Amino acid sequence: MSQSTRSIIKRNIFWFRRDLRLTDNPALLAAIAESDEVLALFIIDAKIEKDSGPKRLAYLAESLKSLDKSLANKLHVFSGDEVEILKNLIAKHNISEVHISQEYEPTGAARDLIIEGAGIKLVRTGSSYAVAPGRVLKPSDQTPYRVYTPFYRAWCVHGWRQAVSAPKNIKLVAPEAADRNFAKWQLPEGAKITEAGEVAALSRWNEFKAKNLASYDTNRNFAGIDGTSKLSAHLTWGEIHPRTLLAELGDSTAHDVFRKELAWREFYADILFNNPHTDHDYYALRFKNMRYDSPGKKFEAWCEGKTGYPFVDAAMRQLLTEGWMHNRTRMVVASFLVKDLHLEWTLGADFFMEHLVDFDIASNSHGWQWTAGCGTDASPYYRVFNPIEQGKRFDVDGDYIRKYVPELAHLDARQIHEPWEFLDGYSHGYPERIVIHATERLESLARLEEIKGE
């Protein structure tokens, strides 16, 4: 191809980030519409490598393979400084624009400003949310919502665009061998994660719709059954867009409860957008003055799923094995860390960041703060989850505990939630309780009283 021909062809980059899909990807469609050829790009973020454990990295590796397959093996993959990589590609391929989906969390937004400051033109179209953070405001004074329920109502009234189909034909720039720097992240031995990629996401959504969506309102809290969508990792990596899910929801109670769960994700993104310091800092600042204990052997026991509380330990071992944890048990283990062990929520949030395949900075930080009592909860610190009663209520027969805590598999439903009450409870090596919940509950409330006047 001659230089004159190369200069006539308009090429743009589409930079995949948290939108590893073709279906309902408006930014990709915008890149195609403005280009003769599109260079499909993914840049391995050094921060992701630093903050992520091996399960999350292994999931990302598989997701990129899936995306590459859908692009006829023409995905360009690089690792390094984004500005340098983009400038090299722009010069090499005579690129006009870099198309992206807009990111709203503090780190991603700051990175994009740095890139623009280096003279690179970014064209933003859409985001990973049905309604972009910052859009839903109180009609009375145009300020952000601080409470979920009124946010949800306004979010529904605001509405969202219709989902769009995947492009039927993309003229892609063919990569050279040097452009294909896929990371070789491997899943640790014994770990097992959900299948990654857009095809897997759509398949899981269709399966959930057919089998579990109609009963979602009644079954979503039971840890031992397949009652949730398990789409969180797919949403985190943008393998499916929430609009795709919302478009197929009706007005039934079950459908509305599922819609509300999607809205929680968007509420927390909105909270973080309006309070960017809360990615790792307190939403309710007075809780910084709470008297916390120093992490030690009790924190290690929590991390390893060896607290002596079966429902807590089952959840933590599920996280260590699968990189995922049932939403009900996320609240239980968070409450146990903060209210029973008197440790700062940031310790748990960082541990989740390392191990969760579906890690999302807004949902993680504010989910933890909601349970810890320093977040957006309308009745915060007084809520203390009882790890025994939560197990009895949401793992009635003990199947969830037996799956992840084999030391208790010999116990029946009556025994398994309180093994210390039965002669055979510790016969298979299960650890004794590291604290007594009733005592620590009172201690946590006493510590709250110390800062109430502030």
What CATH fold (topology level) applies to the domain 129-163+197-274? 1.25.40
pLDDT at residue 452, rounded to an integer:
81
Mention every residue, 6+ apart, whose C-beta is less than 8 A from residue 366.
268, 271, 272, 278, 283, 375, 376
CA angle 174/179/180 to nearest 5° reads 95
Residue 432 backbone dihedrals phi, psi, to 5 degrees: -75, 160
pLDDT at residue 381, rounded to an integer:
58
Matching CATH number, 285-451, of 3.30.1330.40, 1.10.579.10, 3.10.180.10, 1.10.3720.10: 1.10.579.10
Q: Would you call 127 helix, strand, or coil by DSSP?
A: coil
Question: How far apart are the C-alpha atoms of 27 and 16, rounded to whole Å?
Answer: 9
Domain ranges (residues) in the chain: 3-127, 129-163+197-274, 285-451
Which residue has tokens 């989910």? 367
pLDDT at residue 219, rounded to an integer:
96
Q: What is the helix, strand, coil percentage profile of the chain, to 5?
A: 50, 5, 45
Query: How long, in residues, is the chain?
Result: 454
pLDDT at residue 29, rounded to an integer:
97
Residue 289 backbone dihedrals phi, psi, to 5 degrees: -90, 5
pLDDT at residue 4, rounded to an integer:
46
Contact, 156 vs 246, CB < 8 A?
no
61-74 burial, b if ≥16 CB within 10 A, otherwise e?
A: bbbbebbbebbeeb
Domain 3-127 superfamily per CATH: HUPs (3.40.50.620)
Question: How far apart are the C-alpha atoms of 127 and 115, rounded to whole Å?
Answer: 18
pLDDT at residue 454, rounded to an integer:
56
pLDDT at residue 380, rounded to an integer:
59
pLDDT at residue 382, rounded to an integer:
75
Contact, 187 vs 224, CB < 8 A?
no
pLDDT at residue 378, rounded to an integer:
63
- Pull the structure tokens for residue 133: 């953070």
Question: How far apart are the C-alpha atoms of 153 and 334, rounded to whole Å?
Answer: 28
- Low-confidence stretches of the chain (pLDDT < 70) are 1-7, 378-381, 453-454
Question: How far apart are the C-alpha atoms of 269 and 104, rounded to whole Å?
Answer: 8
Which is nearest to 419 in space by CA: 387, 384, 385?
387
